[in-house]
């Protein structure tokens, strides 16, 4: 027995024996070392006295007698000098001389827990970096896809423009002929004129499409200057408010008063904001709310979020939302080039756009733009090929 | 006197119909040709006021043709027709002395305005040169 007592007292591992109410019956030097209490102090203390004040009300301390098998918990202890440390306690019940006692092994796990916490923080940081990497990769893939599609579209558009020019001239020539006095008595003159007007109207529509397609694939002619974004947004919103007067659509702008002027292209930006607002109006059908919020992002970029309370975008459509010709609108309502062109313009202005949406719960397009540095704007290669 | 026009475009049907439509509006289209080389031959042989010139053509392209036209006769005004709205191509053309540029397909009335504008510039310049020459002659003649 002497051997065991000696071992118990001198082993570096903190060991305790308590009764079933937690009163310390025996504590070794290890406990004295980690707690700062003398062995004499310890003999008059209860287990809960060693714990941090906020741990003393634990359910376990009031029910120690109910521990029937080895139980392990993490608990904060408080040293005699008031400092806290994290401990791992294992309670093992045993009987001695007809009494129910508990054998406790205490380990100071402060360092391990701190390291684990740091590891968790590192893991969290790594997870965020990975997410950011994936997001950038996705953005890059999308840009590559759009660039390839844009180039193809521009090529097709260019080839279409020549026959379109011929159609325009031929139809125009027929109009010229019909305007001659000798044709005035033609029986179906009005029908001919009407048809020709329609042909020219539709050719004009094609020309607008090819014009936008060409802009997708070609470097844009940018006029970079100081842009009063606040004024620009207010102007575009006012325009849309006027245009939607007949509908039950509420459009409001919430602009941070500290929004700085930026170096960008006002005409291109105007087109981008109008495209997103048109898209939001179309998503609402006849009624709903559109909000344009502008301010600075935590990263110091200018952020403009355009939200609508419309029908939202189906998850399967989200990855294709910026593809040229992708549209869910009915024929004649949209060519599917507006968002694609806006995406291209924003990239060339050194910005980006992302979308969040749930079906039936509206959509938010968030535009980010560099806040001021001229160098941030993409220096697109120029091309004078016609 | 109406301006005398040369139309240069590799799309035959386009240049022929455009020619008829400009003629219908009182302009004199002297010729329509399909290449830059043919255009230069026309310029050397006949008098033209305004050239309507397509930018994208096989062989000598519009910009090269413009350069050569200006070497042969710097007073001829040139209107460029571009396949797309590249301001860069237009700026290149303007730097080389083009009067203006238009995107294909274009409205006939817009083209007409540009042709008339180009012709006025050319006619005004020629008139000033003529008067200067007359003044020079008068100065040289003994009183």
Residue B141, pLDDT > 50, answer yes
**Mutation target among B61, B64, B86 for the A interface, most CBs of A within 10 A:** B86
Residue B3 tokens read as: 């301006």
* Distance between B107 CA and the closest CA of chain A, angstroms: 8
A370: its two tokens: 């560099």
By Cβ distance, the residue of A161, A215, A382 closest to B104 is A161
**What average pLDDT does the segment A203-227 reach?**
77
User: Is the confidence at residue B128, as pLDDT, over 80?
Assistant: yes
Distances (CA, A) of B58 to A156, A163, B8, B18, B80: 18, 16, 12, 20, 16
Asked if omega into B105 is within 30° of 0 (cis), the reply is yes
The closest CB to that of A172, out of B21, B55, B103, belongs to: B21
Give every CB contact of residue A55 below 8 A, 6+ residues apart in sequence. Answer: A48, A75, A76, A77
Indicate which of A157, A169, A176 best probes the interface with B, i.e. most B CBs within 10 Å of its own CB: A169
The CA distance from A168 to the nearest CA of chain B, in Å, is: 7
> For residue range A97-115, what is the model confidence (pLDDT) as tens digits?
889 999 999 998 888 888 8
Nearest CA-CA distance, residue A236 and chain B, Å: 25
- What is the domain class of A224-373 according to CATH? alpha beta
d(C-alpha A286, C-alpha A281), whole Å: 8
pLDDT of residue A1: 60
DSSP annotation string for B114-135 = HHHHHHHHHHHHHHHHHHHHHH
Q: Which chain B residues have a beta carbon less than 8 Å from that of A176? A: 20-21, 24
Is the pLDDT at A83 greater than 80? The verdict is yes
Q: Tell me which of B105 and B28 has the higher pLDDT.
A: B28
Q: Give the A window 181-240 contacts with B, CB below 8 Å.
A: 203, 207, 210-211, 214-215, 218-219, 221
Lowest average pLDDT, out of A88-92, A284-288, A376-380, goes to A376-380
Alpha-carbon distance A142 to nearest alpha carbon in chain B (angstroms): 25
* Cα distance between residue B143 and residue A97, in whole Å: 152
Q: What is the mean pLDDT of residues A123-142?
A: 79
b/e code A6-19 from CB counts within 10 Å (16+ = b):
eebeeeeebbbbbb
**Greater model confidence, A214 or A317:** A317
Residue A154 with chain B: CB contacts under 8 Å: 84
Confidence label for A379 from pLDDT (cuts 50, 70 and 90): very low
Q: In whole angstroms, how far apart are CA B70 and each of A23, A45, B74, B78? A: 110, 108, 4, 9
pLDDT for residue A312 is more than 80: yes
Min CA distance, B68 vs chain A (Å)? Answer: 18
Question: Does residue A384 have a pLDDT over 80?
Answer: no
Nearest chain B residue to A384 by CA distance is: B89
Count residue pairs from A and B with Cβ separation < 8 A.
80
Q: Considering only CB atoms, which chain A residues are within 8 Å of B52? A: none
| DSSP strand pairing (B28-33 vs B4-8) | parallel
Residues 75-94 of B with CB under 8 A from A: 82-89, 92
Query: How far is the C-alpha of B103 from the C-alpha of B78, rounded, in Å?
Result: 14
What region, left, alpha or beta, does residue A329 occupy, with left being phi > 0 and alpha being psi -120 to 50 degrees? beta
For residue A331, pLDDT beyond 60: no
Cβ <8 Å between B21 and A165: no
Given 3.30.450.20, 3.90.580.10, 3.40.140.10, 1.10.8.50, which CATH number is that of A2-108? Answer: 3.30.450.20
In this prediction, residue A381 has a pLDDT band, given cuts at 50, 70 and 90, of very low
**Rounded-to-integer distance, Cα A77 and Cα A56, Å:** 10
**Three-state SS at A182:** helix
CB contact under 8 A, A385 and B89: yes
The pLDDT tens digits of the residues spanning A217-235 come to: 665 667 788 888 999 999 8
Distance CA(A50)–CA(A48), nearest Å, equals 5
* pLDDT tens per residue, range A61-78: 888 888 888 988 888 999
Q: How many residues does chain B have?
A: 143
Instruction: Give the C-alpha separation, A37 to A45, whole Å.
Output: 10
Q: Residues 6 or more apart from A101 whose CB is under 8 A from it?
A: A17, A18, A19, A20, A25, A93, A94, A95
Q: Are A233 and A222 in contact (CB under 8 A)?
A: no
CA distance A235 to chain B (A): 26
pLDDT band at A375 (very low <50, low <70, confident <90, very high): very low
Confidence category of residue B86, pLDDT binned at 50, 70, 90: low
The per-residue pLDDT for A42 is 93
**Residues B90/B103, Cβ–Cβ less than 8 Å:** no
pLDDT at A385 over 80: no
Contacts of B7 in chain A (CB under 8 A): none
Q: Where are the domains of chain A?
A: 2-108, 111-218, 224-373
Residue A180 CB neighbours (<10 A) = 9
Contact A165 B92 (CB under 8 A): no
Distance from the Cα of B87 to chain A's closest Cα (Å) equals 7
Mean pLDDT of chain A: 84
Q: Coil, helix or strand for A110?
A: helix
pLDDT of residue A44: 93
**A111-218 is classed CATH 1.10.287:** yes
Q: What is the pLDDT, as a whole number, of residue A335?
A: 67
From chain B, pick out residues whose CB is under 8 angstroms from the CB of A169. Answer: 13-14, 17-18, 21, 105, 108
Nearest neighbour of B83 by CB, restricted to A162, A167, A173: A162
Q: Which residues of A touch B85 (CB under 8 A)?
A: 211, 214-215
Nearest to A353 by CA among A44, A116, A99, A135: A135
Give A333's pLDDT tier (boundaries 50, 70, 90): low
Does residue A382 register a pLDDT over 50?
no
CA atoms lying within 13 Å on the CB side of residue A368: 11
What pLDDT, on a 0 to 100 scale, did the predictor assign at position A88? Answer: 92
- Please say if the pLDDT value at position B87 is more than 60: no
List the one residue out of A164, A267, A262 whose CA is nearest residue A215: A267
Q: Select the residue of A158, A168, A172 nearest B84 (Cβ to Cβ).
A: A158
pTM strictly above 0.80: no
pLDDT computed for residue A386 by the predictor: 33
Distances (CA, A) of B132 to A61, A301, B77, B126, B136: 115, 61, 21, 10, 6
Residue A161 · residue B105 · CB < 8 Å: yes
Q: Are B62 and B54 in contact (CB under 8 A)?
A: yes
Provide the pLDDT for residue B102.
Answer: 87
Q: Which residues pair with A292 in a beta bridge?
A: A253, A306
Split at pLDDT 50, 70, 90, the class of A369 is very high
Please give the residue that has the higher pLDDT: either A241 or A210: A241
**Partners of residue B20 in chain A, C-beta under 8 Å:** 173, 176
A284 has a pLDDT exceeding 50: yes
Instruction: Indicate if the pLDDT at residue B73 is higher than 90.
Output: yes
């Amino acid at each position: 027995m002497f051997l065991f007592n000696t071992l118990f007292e001198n082993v570096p591992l903190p060991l305790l024996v308590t009764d079933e109410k937690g009163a310390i019956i025996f504590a070794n030097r290890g406990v004295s070392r980690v707690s700062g209490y003398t062995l004499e102090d310890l003999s008059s203390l209860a287990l809960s006295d060693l714990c941090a004040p906020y741990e003393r009300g634990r359910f376990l301390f009031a029910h120690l007698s109910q521990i029937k098998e080895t139980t392990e918990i993490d608990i904060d202890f408080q040293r005699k000098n008031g400092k806290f440390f994290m401990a791992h306690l294992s309670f093992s019940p045993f009987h001695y001389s007809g009494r129910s006692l508990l054998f406790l092994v205490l380990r100071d796990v402060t360092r391990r827990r701190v390291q684990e916490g740091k590891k968790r923080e590192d893991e969290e940081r790594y997870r965020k970096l990975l997410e950011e990497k994936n997001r950038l990769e996705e953005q890059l893939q999308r840009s590559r896809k759009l660039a390839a599609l844009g180039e193809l579209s521009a090529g097709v558009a260019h080839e279409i423009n020549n026959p379109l020019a011929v159609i325009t001239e031929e139809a125009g020539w027929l109009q010229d002929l019909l305007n001659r006095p000798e044709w005035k008595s033609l029986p179906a003159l009005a029908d001919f004129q009407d048809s020709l007007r329609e042909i020219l109207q539709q050719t004009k529509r094609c020309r607008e499409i090819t014009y936008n397609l060409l802009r997708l694939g070609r470097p844009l002619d940018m006029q970079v200057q100081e842009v009063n974004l606040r004024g620009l947004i207010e102007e575009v919103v006012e325009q849309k408010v006027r245009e939607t007067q007949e509908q039950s659509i509420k459009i409001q702008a919430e602009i941070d008063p500290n929004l700085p002027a930026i170096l960008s292209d006002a005409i291109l930006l105007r087109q981008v904001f109008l495209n997103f607002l048109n898209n939001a109006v179309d998503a609402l059908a006849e009624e709903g709310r559109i909000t344009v919020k502008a301010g600075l992002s935590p990263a110091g970029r200018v952020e403009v979020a355009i939200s609508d309370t419309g029908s939202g975008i189906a998850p399967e459509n989200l990855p294709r939302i910026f593809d040229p010709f992708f549209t869910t609108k009915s024929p004649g309502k949209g060519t599917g080039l507006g968002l694609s062109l806006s995406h291209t313009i924003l990239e060339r202005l050194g910005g980006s756009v992302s979308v969040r949406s749930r079906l039936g719960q509206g959509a938010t397009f968030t535009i980010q733009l560099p806040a001021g540095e001229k160098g941030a704007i993409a220096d697109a290669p120029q091309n004078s090929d016609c | 006197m109406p301006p005398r026009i040369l139309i240069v475009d590799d799309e035959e049907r386009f240049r022929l119909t455009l020619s008829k439509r400009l003629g219908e509006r009182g302009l004199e289209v002297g010729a329509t040709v399909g290449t830059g080389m043919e255009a230069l031959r026309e310029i050397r042989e006949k008098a033209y006021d305004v050239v309507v010139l397509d930018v994208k053509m096989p062989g000598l392209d519009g910009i090269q043709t413009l350069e050569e036209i200006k070497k042969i006769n710097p007073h001829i005004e040139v209107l460029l027709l571009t396949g797309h709205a590249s301001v860069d191509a237009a700026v290149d053309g303007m730097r080389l002395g083009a009067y203006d540029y238009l995107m294909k397909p274009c409205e006939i009335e817009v083209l007409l305005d540009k042709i008339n504008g180009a012709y006025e510039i050319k006619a005004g310049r020629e008139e000033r040169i003529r008067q200067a020459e007359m003044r020079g002659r008068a100065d040289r003649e003994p009183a």
